Amino acid sequence: MAKNNKPSKLGDILKRVTKKSIEKEIKKEKAKSYDIRKIFEQMELHLISSMHRAFYFHEREQSKEGFQWEQWQLTKLREIEKYRKRNKKLVEGYNKPIQQAINRELQGNFNKGQNRVSKLIDKVKQFFNKQPSIGLPNDIEEKQGVRDYISKLLNRPIKPPQETNFFGVNDKKLNALQETVTNDLNKASHAVLRKMDDVYRQTIFKSHMYFQNGTKTLNQAIDMATKDFLDKGINCIQYKDGKRVNIASYAEMCLRTASHRATLLGEGKKRDEYGLHLVVVSAHANTCKHCEPWQGKVLIDDVFSHPSKEFIEEYKGKYKLLSEAIESGLLHPNCRHTLTTYFPSITQLPVVPDGKEAIKLYEAEQRQRALERELRKWRRFELGTCDTEGQRKAHDKVREIEQTLRGHLKNNPELRRDYNREKADIRSTKEINYTADLREFNKYKESLVEGLPNTPEEFQKLKYNKIKKYEELKQAYKLNISSQARADLYINNIVEESDNIDVIRPRNIYKELNKSEVGKDTIKYIEDNNLNIELHYQNVPNEIRGICWGKKQIEIYVPNTKTKLVTTQTLIHEVTHLKYDIRDTQWAETVCFLKEKEHIKGELTIKDKRDTIKLVKRLYPDLPWR
């Protein structure tokens, strides 16, 4: 509300930045962070399967006469190099999708952060544009104009930084963030290999102790030797306090936190451009004890934007610094709080829930996360155990924990079940996504996308191994869909039944037109003037490729054009007649033929022009030159 206690129109604009809209954005970000988690979970399960293959003792070997435990140990130790190579190749296969996930999410969130502030500023500009006394200027320095109005709004001068390279600071921070996350996850991948090597060796020697007492089969001995490993997964990441965490959980936390920081860096960069440095912390119904004191508070952003000393001095008596809040725990790893640009006396502050209830709900959510971890643990047991009895027990345990989880969610209806967090799928990414990829393949096939592989399997190979080519394929599909829709609007197939002539599709003509500037100009003229283009396939006049009737209709005679290229050239020819309103002279035909040739060659030479004039004089001797 404004100081006069009357509703502000600008305030109404800013009300759209609601708790619901913020929570929706957070949900999207959490969903994205699962991408990296799935990659590492897939790696983890593949490595467990690799170990399973390395140790599974087939019945036929077990029944061999003269089996010696020492001989088995030596055999497994000799195979360790083969095991290492297999695991190294497996982990390296995940490097590319990991790197792509990092770059895509961090750069995307940085850009999104800038766009979020820009949209808010655009709404402010629209508000000012409606006021006759303070209309936006039409000069080139638009940002300075917006700063002037923000200055009037806030009753203080806006002083942007003087340094010419200042606005590149956050870009450098983003690059450093990308590099840090990449290095961290690369180190994590190497730690995975070391962990698997250790587990392999420990299993060989631990299983000796369990097997030699005579009460366990070899498969049971191996299960007992790997119990701790299957219990915790590949917990190769150790924090300073000694706590070890699972690789997939670490990767998810790492990318989610970095993505959050990238968004805030993007917002900070854009706020710097307009001299805005006050932010308000979002408020949530569930929060940890570190963030609870800061919910709904207005802060001076001295971390992601760069306020001047004068700005800080002016406001520090009223608002605390964001750096102080971060030091006390706000924006910790996995933190869900966001920062929104704050306009004093205008922005509506969020309603802050009861602190004790918010912390209680947060703890209930953490209990849900713990049950999900238990589910994943026992599913790892079920997938990784060699012993049938062990598999049965793990299966029963999964059912027991699922029942406990359902009860917990029933007692806390504010929570929602997330089945993705409970999965432990040992299928490859290609197997998991096969149905969706098959639909995508068929969609591209129907659209006649050029360069599409012949089979769904080859398409998957391209999609997951040749990312650049896959992106080109997606762009080609979008262009095809656009061309098809636009072509169907303006080009009609006048088709009589015939088995002898291949139908030249409108979409393919549009694709051909899009290959040159002349072709694109032709498309624009057709659409701007709503021309009616008809393709005729039978009962056509001899030797004539096309003709224009009046100023709105063109007929193309496909049996005479024969190919997609000549059909396209004919369309360019006839549209040129209409566009320049020229016909029935040698000069008009020369201009039209030159447009055809320009579509194929681009820039024309003097020789091209002379040759075209000679051709026209030979084809149309009875027409006047002009």
d(CA 369, CA 366): 5
DSSP secondary structure string for all residues of 534-586: EEE-SS--SS--EEEETTTEEEEEHHHH-SHHHHHHHHHHHHHHHHHT--SSH
Whether residues 243 and 192 share a domain: the answer is yes
d(CA 381, CA 397): 10
Tens of pLDDT, residues 496-520: 434 444 457 777 788 888 889 899 8
Whether residues 41 and 127 share a domain: the answer is yes
> Which residue, among 304, 243, 248, has the nearest Cα to 277 in the 3D structure?
304
Question: Vertex 89, ends 87 and 92: CA angle to 5°?
Answer: 105
d(CA 339, CA 332): 14
Alpha-carbon separation of residue 190 from 90, 196, 236 (angstroms): 12, 10, 10
For the chain, how far is it from start to end, CA to CA, in angstroms?
Answer: 73
Whether residues 494 and 387 share a domain: the answer is no
pLDDT recorded at residue 545: 86
pLDDT recorded at residue 399: 92
Task: Give the contacts of 531 (CB within 8 A, at least 6 positions apart).
Answer: 490, 525, 552, 553, 554, 575, 578
Whether residues 458 and 526 share a domain: the answer is no
DSSP E strand stretches across 434-551: 491-494, 532-536, 546-549
d(CA 190, CA 186): 6
Show which of 243, 259, 276 is a domain's final residue: 276
d(CA 271, CA 265): 10
Is position 285 within any domain?
no
Whether residues 162 and 18 share a domain: the answer is yes
Whether residues 510 and 401 share a domain: the answer is no
Alpha-carbon separation of residue 19 from 16, 110, 248, 282, 285 (angstroms): 9, 21, 30, 7, 10
Amino acid at 415: L
Is position 41 within any domain?
yes
pLDDT recorded at residue 477: 73
pLDDT recorded at residue 73: 57
pLDDT, mean over the chain? 72
Would the pLDDT of 29 be above 50? no
Q: Tell me the CATH number at 522.
A: 3.30.2410
Is position 232 within any domain?
yes
Whether residues 66 and 186 share a domain: the answer is yes
The better pLDDT of the pair 63, 410 is held by: 410
Query: Hunting for tokens 């591209």 — which residue is that?
Result: 444
pLDDT recorded at residue 65: 43
Range of the domain at 550: 482-581
Amino acid at 582: I
Specify the 3-state DSSP secondary structure of 155: coil
Q: 10 Å Cβ neighbour count for 362? A: 19
Is position 19 within any domain?
yes
If you count them, how many residues does the chain have? Answer: 626
Average of pLDDT values for 385-404? Answer: 85
d(CA 309, CA 158): 13
DSSP secondary structure string for all residues of 522-545: HHHHHHHTT-EEEEE-SS--SS--
Amino acid at 394: A
DSSP run (H or E) holding 74: helix 69-78
Is position 5 within any domain?
no
> Which residue, among 258, 270, 278, has the nearest Cα to 339 in the 3D structure?
278
d(CA 168, CA 106): 16
Is position 607 within any domain?
no
d(CA 240, CA 389): 39
Average of pLDDT values for 193-222? Answer: 61
pLDDT recorded at residue 505: 73
Whether residues 362 and 459 share a domain: the answer is no
Tens of pLDDT, residues 525-541: 888 888 888 888 777 77
Query: How far is C-alpha 111 from the geometric centre of its chain's CA atoms?
Result: 12
Tens of pLDDT, residues 78-93: 566 666 677 677 666 6
Query: pLDDT category, 60, cuts 50, 70, 90?
Result: very low
Average of pLDDT values for 416-428? Answer: 75
Residue 30, burial from CB neighbour count under 10 angstroms (0-12, 13-18, 19+): middle
Alpha-carbon separation of residue 124 from 4, 10, 12, 264, 579 (angstroms): 20, 7, 11, 20, 43
Q: Are 556 and 503 contacting, i.e. CB atoms less than 8 angstroms apart?
A: no
Longest pairwise C-alpha distance within the chain: 110
Average of pLDDT values for 431-451? Answer: 79
Q: Are 531 and 490 contacting, i.e. CB atoms less than 8 angstroms apart?
A: yes
Tens of pLDDT, residues 586-597: 999 999 999 999
Question: Vertex 412, ends 406 and 413: CA angle to 5°?
Answer: 90
Whether residues 117 and 207 share a domain: the answer is yes
Would the pLDDT of 55 be above 70? no
Crossing angle of the two packed helices 69-78 and 80-92, in degrees rounded to 10 = 40
Is position 328 within any domain?
no
Q: What is the 3-state secondary structure (H, E, C) of 98-127?
A: HHHHHHHHHHHHHHHHHHHHHHHHHHHHHH
Q: Total domain count for the chain?
A: 4
Query: pLDDT category, 186, cuts 50, 70, 90?
Result: low
Residue 542, burial from CB neighbour count under 10 angstroms (0-12, 13-18, 19+): exposed
Q: Are 414 and 286 contacting, i.e. CB atoms less than 8 angstroms apart?
A: yes
Tens of pLDDT, residues 310-346: 888 888 888 999 999 999 989 887 788 888 888 777 7
Parallel, antiparallel or unpaired: strands 339-341 and 278-281: antiparallel
Tens of pLDDT, residues 236-253: 556 666 666 666 666 666
d(CA 596, CA 604): 11
Provide the β-strand partners of residue 547: 555
Query: Hunting for tokens 């006759």 — which residue is that?
Result: 132
Show which of 276, 296, 325 is a domain's final residue: 276
Provide the β-strand partners of residue 546: 556
Whether residues 508 and 362 share a domain: the answer is no
Whether residues 404 and 443 share a domain: the answer is no
Whether residues 413 and 550 share a domain: the answer is no
Q: Are 140 and 293 contacting, i.e. CB atoms less than 8 angstroms apart?
A: no
Residue 446, burial from CB neighbour count under 10 angstroms (0-12, 13-18, 19+): exposed
Is position 338 within any domain?
no
Tens of pLDDT, residues 272-309: 877 888 999 999 988 999 999 999 999 999 888 888 88
